[in-house]
Every structure is written in structure tokens, then in C-alpha cells.
Amino acid sequence: MATNASTFVRQSMLEAKPAPSNQTGASHWIRTRLFATPKDIVLTVLALALIAYIVPGMINWLFIDAVWSGTDRTACATVIQGGVLPDGQSGACWAFVEAKFQQFMFGRYPADERWRPILVAILFAILLVPMLIPKAPFKGWNALALFIILPFVSFFLLSGGFGLPHVETPLWGGLMVTLILSFFGITVSLPLGIILALGRRSNMPVIKTICVVFIEVIRGIPLISVLFMASVMLPLFLPDGWTFDKLLRALIGVSLFASAYMAEVVRGGLQAIPKGQFEGADSLGLSYWQKMRLIILPQAIKLVIPGIVNTFIGLFKDTSLVSIIGMFDLLGIVVLNQSDANWSTPVTPITGYVFAGFVFWLFCFGMSRYSAFMERHLDTGHRH
């Protein structure tokens, strides 16, 4: 009864006091993140100097001094180079990219038929977007349409047949070829890599040896030598009268190359699965393939998603090497167009590279961000 009278005990909680003003806000952030120690001050000043040195010039070159429209090289060349710009001005020649944009996308694909690659791109996007959204339904049918049906449909749409005029593959080019190569490479290399990884972990000596030799040889040599092999040796391996399309040869080379790397990534995942999972599956009476399909691979693949996406990104970047064996992917067509006398100015090459680099960067960065999202989404909290 008397306890109620203890007036000096507070009955309600006090509101938390705000942090001291020097512990919050912008000033605190600047003090701790930019000027914490003398060393930090020096580093910050140096970094600011670097930014001040590079960024204004870059913005100038990319946007302010850049030429945005024009019909030929005179728009981007200075007076001394035979153009209209005042001497000493140097900026990106976006007019060049604008004029060649169709080529950069489709290569030398006939202008009247360009609706076909556009249609393929639209179909691809329609099928890909629900595939990437984890909550979208009908994943199985979607995958079937994307990975099995779409390639055949696109092949006939792009190369012709069924009443459409035939367009030979040497005319294909630009971003279209880059995307075809990487999509095909990704679609083939993941299953092939899984099979190779399983083969390498197999206890059948013959199969294991074949897989190990294949993986290690491919991983030991550069992609260019694989592409050279595909372009100069494959014709030797075939019987008389058989010819392989150049694009197909590149597709085979790129896919085999990526599958060896994929196999090593998947093997890492397989090795991380505890032995108990294998034994548990065995004790349930599952067959080898059931065990792998239902128990092991879902866990293993989930573990190595970052590695798989890294391989995809590597594959996407590596497709640029086909320009060395004379195909015109995005980089190849940019390089080809630089020798166009109509557009030859000192800034044309670098503009082309900045454009191509930006497109490559966009795709690769997108892939890496998506993989980070998937990693978080699939994280079931079993990580140790």
C-alpha cells in the first residue's frame, strides 16, 4: 500500500533524448567519413583534386562539347581537320553513333527485314521478364518457351524460311549477334557444365577422366585459341561437302568454353553439400538422377548463383572476341564502322568505344545486380 506513495519512482518511460548534435547529421558524417584523421584529410583532398581534374573534362567531352547531330564527318571535325567545329574543341561525336545506330544493333541485316530481329527481341523480352520475376506463375512452361521454343522460332524468323526471305548469317551483326551468342552460350553451358561437374565427381574412372581432361584443357587455354580451333580446325574434322556456318562455329566454341568454367563453379557447389544429404537421398531409395535432380542440385546451384552469374557475365564479355575471327558483333561492327571515311575524325573511334562500352556495361551490371537480388531472395537462412 505504501509502495504506491513512492513518488520518486517514475511510472512512465522517459522519451529517449536525441543524440548529441555532434554525433548526427551531415557534420558528423563529414567529420568521421571524410576528415577523421590527418591521413584521411590528405586522402580526401587528393581524391577531391582527382575528381576536379577528371570529372569536368569528362562531362565537357561527353555532353557539352559533344556533337549531337550531323550527317557526316564535317560535323565532328575541327576546321583544321576539314570540319566545322572551332579548332581545339574536342567532344564526343554522338552524331556518328546516331547515324550508325541501326548497324550497331543489327549489323548489315537488310533494312526491310529489320522488323524480324525486333520481333525476336520483343518475344525474348516478353518471355524473359516473367522468368526473372520470382513470383510470376508457370515457371516450367515459361522456361520451355524461353529456352526450347524461342530459339527455334527465332532461328526461322532471323534466317528466313516459311515464306520469309533468306538472310545469311554473315549479314547478321551488332548487338543482335552479341545477344544471340550469349543467350545460346548461357542456355547450353549451364546444363553442359552441370553434366561435366557431375562427371568429374563420378566414381566411374573413364567418365571422370574424360571430364577432367576436357575441363582442364579448356580452362588452360585462351578463348581465342578455342575460337581459332572452331574456325580453322572444325572444317578439317568434317567429311567432304559438310560445311558449318561461321556463326554456328562461334556458338559451339563459346558454349564449350563457358561450360568448362561453369563445370568448375557447379563442382564447388556440389562439394559444399554435406555428405549426409547424399546418404539421406540414398536411404530414401532415390536413383542417381532423382537424387541429383531433387536433393543435391537445387541446394548446390543455389549456393553458387554468384559464381554462375559471374560466368555468364564473363561469357557475355567474351563474345566480343568473335570480332577477331572476323564476325561483327557489337564491338566488331563498331570497329568496322570506324574505318568509314565518311566519319573518320580523331574522336570517332573513342566515341564508338564509349558507346560499345556503355552497352556492355549496362548488360553486365544489370546481370550482377540481378544475381545479388536472387541471392537475397533465395537465402533460406541456413548459412553458417
Q: Which residues bind other proteins (CB under 8 A)?
A: 29, 32-34, 36, 40, 43-44, 47-48, 50-51, 203-207, 210, 217, 219-225, 228-229, 232-233, 235-240, 313, 317-318, 320-321, 323-324, 331, 335, 338, 346-347, 349-350, 353, 356-357, 360-361, 364-365, 368
By beta-carbon proximity to other proteins, the closer residue of 157 and 256 is 256
294 to each of 140, 175, 267, how far by Cα in Å? 15, 37, 17
The three-state secondary structure class of 365 is: helix
Shortest separation between residue 287's beta carbon and other proteins, angstroms: 10
The closest alpha carbon to 296, from 313, 315, 311, 275, belongs to 275
CB of 364 to other proteins, least distance (A): 4
Is the distance from CB of 254 to CB of 315 less than 8 angstroms?
Answer: yes
First to last CA, the chain: 53
**Residue 129 CB, nearest approach to other proteins (Å):** 21
Other CB atoms within a 10 A radius of the CB of residue 261 amount to 21
Query: CB-wise, 62 or 224, nearer to other proteins?
Result: 224
**Judged by CB, which is closer to other proteins: 115, or 365?**
365
C-alpha cell at 3: 509502495
Question: Which CB atom, from 296 or from 318, has the smaller least distance to other proteins?
Answer: 318
Q: Is 146 or 198 the residue whose CB approaches other proteins more closely? A: 198
Helix-strand-coil percent breakdown of the chain, rounded to 5? Answer: 75, 0, 25
Q: How far apart are CA 65 and CA 90, in angstroms?
A: 6
Residue 136 or 233 having the CB closest to other proteins: 233
- Closest approach, Cβ 28 to other proteins, in A, equals 12
Name the minimum Å distance from CB 228 to other proteins.
7
Cα 29 from Cα 16, distance rounded (Å): 22
Nearest distance from residue 68's CB to other proteins, in Å? 20
State the Cα–Cα distance between residues 134 and 276, nearest whole angstrom. 29
Residue with cell 563420378: 202
| Contact assessment for residue 124 and residue 175, using Cβ atoms and an 8 Å cutoff | no
165 vs 357, which CB is nearer to other proteins?
357
Q: Which residue(s) pair with 174 in the sheet?
A: 329
For residue 202, the minimal CB distance to other proteins (Å) is 9
